[in-house]
Structure 1
Amino acid sequence: MEKNKKWYLLVFLGCVWGSSFLLMKLGLKGVSPVQMGSLRILFAAAFLLLVGFKHIAKIPHHKWKFIALTALMGTFLPAYLFAVALSKIDGSISSILNSLTPLNALIFGILFFKVDVQRRQIFGVIIGFIGCVLLVLFGDGENTTENYYYALLIVLASICYGINVNLIKKHLSDLKPLTISTGNFVVMLVPALVILYFSGFFETVHQQKVLTSLGYIAVLGVVGTGLSNILFFKLIQISSPVFASSVTYLIPVVAILLGYFIMNETLTFVQGIGAFVVLLGVYFSSRKQL
C-alpha cells in the first residue's frame, strides 16, 4: 500500500493541477493577472494558516531561509507568471509547456544538487518531453492569435519549479509537508497583500464579474495551491524530485480531456498518441524508485 502511495498522489495532483488551468482562465474574466496571482496566494495562505498555524513554531530558525527560497521559487513567482501568461495564451498550451519541469528538475539536480540519476530516468524524461512536443506541434491549430512570447513565462515558471523540488528534497525533507507549506505562505502573505492593495482590486471588488471570479480563484487557491502543496511536498519526500515533478506530464493530459468533455474542444489522434507517450515517460522516470 505504501509503495503505491506515490502513484495515488501523482494521479490526484495531475487531476487537480490539470483542472487549475481552466479555473485560472475563468478567474481572469473578472480580475487582472496580478490580482489573480495575489488572490490565489491569499486564499491558499488563509487555508493553510487555519489548518497548520501551530506548525509554524516547528520550523527551526536556520531553516527559514530555505522556507523563504522555496516559497519564492515554488509558488510566489509561478503564481504571477502563470496569471500573466494565461491572459494571452491558452491553458492547454500552458499546461504542456509546464511539463518542462521534470527536465529542469533533472538538469538542476545534476548541476547544483549532486542528484544521483540513473540512465532510465533520463530516458523517461526524454520520452515524456517528446510526448509534450507531439501535443504542441500536432494540436488543432485553431488558435492562430496566440501570443507565444508569453509562453516564455511558463518556461520560466517550470525552471522555478525544477529548482524548487531539488531545494525541498535536499534542505527540507526533515520537515512535515504541512509545516513547509504553512511556512511558505506565512512568508508570502504580506507581499501578496501589498501587491493586491496597489493593484486597485478593492475599488472593483463589488462588481458581479469580480465576485464570480473570486469563487473560481478561491477553489484554485485552497485546493489547487494550498492542499496540493502539502501533498506535493509529501510526494517529493517519499519519491524523488524527478518522479514528483513528473506530475507535470499528467497535467496537459487532464487539461486536454477537460477541454474535450467540458469545452467541446477537438481531441486529435496525434494528441492521443502524445498523451500515451507522456504517461510512458512518467513510468520510466519513476523506475529508480520501484
Structure 2
Amino acid sequence: MQTAQPAIPLVPGVETGGTGAWRTPVELGLLGAIWGASFLFMRVAADDFGPAPLVEMRLGLGAVVLLPFLWRSRASFPARIWPKLVVIGAINSVVPFLLFAWAAQRAPAGVGAISNAMTVLFTALVGFLFFGEKIGTRRSVALLAGFAGVVVLASGRSAGASIGWAVVAGCTASLMYGVGANLVRRELAGLPAAGVAAATLGTSALLVLPVAIARWPQQPIPLESWLSAGMLGVLCTGIAYVMLYRLIQRIGPSRTATVTYLVPLFGVAWAWWLLDEPLTVTMGIAGAIILGSVAISQRAPR
C-alpha cells in the first residue's frame, strides 16, 4: 500500500486491546486525512515552485524529520547497502513524487488522490509479473476493474480541459510505488523501517537537488505556496511516515493498509472544501470503481 508514501514493510504487529479500540481508528483516520491533504498541498504549490523544486522541498524536509531514526539505527546500514537504497529511493520516491507534482499542475487534487489508490493493485501485478507471486482469480478481477476505473477517470474533463495525461502520470506514479513496495520487501527486509525511509528520502533529495537548483523559480514564491511545501515535507512525509511505522508495529501491515481507502476520500474532500474543486460525476464513478477493486483485492480468501 502506498499513497505518496514509502512501501509498507512486512513486519509483525499485534494490538492487544485497551486503548487500541479507539486509538487505532483515530490514528488511521488522521493518517488518511494527512495523506489526502498532500494532494491539496501539491495542487497549491506546484505551479509556483515547479515539480523538481517542490519535490526537493518535500524530500529534504521529510528526511530531516526522520534523520534521528536513521542515526539511531545507523549500525544496521553498512556501506554495501547504500547503492540499493539509492536505487529504491529513486523508484519509490523521486519518480512518483515528480509525476504527482507534474499532474497537480494539470488536474484537480482529487484526480491524483484517486489515481494513487491504484498502488495496491499495481503492487500485486508487479509481484505476479516479476517476482513469481500468485495473483488468483479475485485479484485478477480486481485489476481489471481498477483499470476500468482509470479509463473512466482519464475520460473526464476539468474546466473544459482533458485530464487524461494527469491521470496517466498519477497511475504511472502508483506503478512505481508498486515496484518500490516489492523491492523494499525483498531487498531491504530486516532493516529498521523508519531508518530505511530516512535513508531513501535523503538520497533521493540529493538526486533531485541539481535539477531543483537549475529549475528553481525566478519569480517570488507566495507565502501560501511556501507553507504548502513545508506542510508537504514535514507533515505529509516526515511525520506521516512516523505514524505509519508506529501503526505497522502495533497492528500489522494488513490492517494498516486500510488507510488506502481513506486517502482518496480525504483528498477529494479537502480539495472541494478548501479549493472549491468540483466533484464531477466522472470522478465519483471512477473513484467508486477503483476503491471497490482495491477492497476486492484486499479481502482475505475463505
Q: Give the TM-score range, shorter chain.
A: 0.7 to 0.9
Q: 1:246-261 counterparts in 2 under 5 A? A: 247-261=259-273
User: Is 1:42–1:193's contact at 8 Å kept on the other side of the alignment?
Assistant: no
Residue 220 of structure 1, CA deviation: 0.5
The one-letter code matched in structure 1 to 2:197 is S
The gaps in structure 2 that reach 5 residues or longer are: 1-13
* Partners of 1:116 and 1:234 in 2: CA distance: 29
24, 43, 50: which one pairs with 2:61?
43
* Partners of 1:41 and 1:30 in 2: CA distance: 17
Residue 154 of structure 1, CA deviation: 2.0
- Name the residue aligned to 1:110: 128
Distance 1:63 1:51, change over 3 A: closer
**TM-superposition CA deviations, 1:153-205 (whole Å, max 9, x none):** 2232122111011111222231222111111123123223333222235x65x
* Partners of 1:88 and 1:273 in 2: CA distance: 20
* Partners of 2:241 and 2:205 in 1: CA distance: 15
- Name the residue aligned to 1:24: 42
- Name the residue aligned to 1:2: 15
The share of aligned pairs that are identical, in percent, is 26
The gaps in structure 1 that reach 5 residues or longer are: none
* Partners of 1:117 and 1:6 in 2: CA distance: 29
2:59 matches 1:34: no
- Name the residue aligned to 1:72: 90
Distance 1:38 1:54, change over 3 A: same
154, 176, 180: which one pairs with 2:192?
176
Distance 1:131 1:189, change over 3 A: closer
User: Is 1:128–1:249's contact at 8 Å kept on the other side of the alignment?
Assistant: no
Q: 1:155-234 counterparts in 2 under 5 A? A: 155-201=171-217, 207=220, 209=222, 211-232=223-244
The one-letter code matched in structure 1 to 2:15 is E
Please say which of residues 124-133 and 279-288 is displaced more in the overlay: 124-133
2:286 matches 1:286: no
- Aligned residue-pair number: 282
* Partners of 2:127 and 2:27 in 1: CA distance: 22
Please say which of residues 95-104 and 257-266 is displaced more in the overlay: 257-266
* Partners of 2:109 and 2:273 in 1: CA distance: 15
Distance 1:86 1:232, change over 3 A: same
Larger helix proportion of the pair: 1
* Partners of 1:166 and 1:13 in 2: CA distance: 22
Superposed CA RMSD in Å reads 3.6
TM-score, L = length of structure 2: 0.76
Aligned partner of residue 159 in structure 2, secondary structure: coil
User: Is 1:135–1:271's contact at 8 Å kept on the other side of the alignment?
Assistant: yes
TM-score, L = length of structure 1: 0.78
Residue 256 of structure 1, CA deviation: 1.9
User: Is 2:125–2:135's contact at 8 Å kept on the other side of the alignment?
Assistant: no
* Partners of 1:71 and 1:221 in 2: CA distance: 16
User: Is 1:27–1:213's contact at 8 Å kept on the other side of the alignment?
Assistant: yes
Distance 1:274 1:32, change over 3 A: closer
2:75 matches 1:57: yes
Distance 1:136 1:197, change over 3 A: closer
* Partners of 1:221 and 1:110 in 2: CA distance: 33
Distance 1:208 1:85, change over 3 A: closer
* Partners of 1:36 and 1:60 in 2: CA distance: 30
Residue 215 of structure 1, CA deviation: 1.2
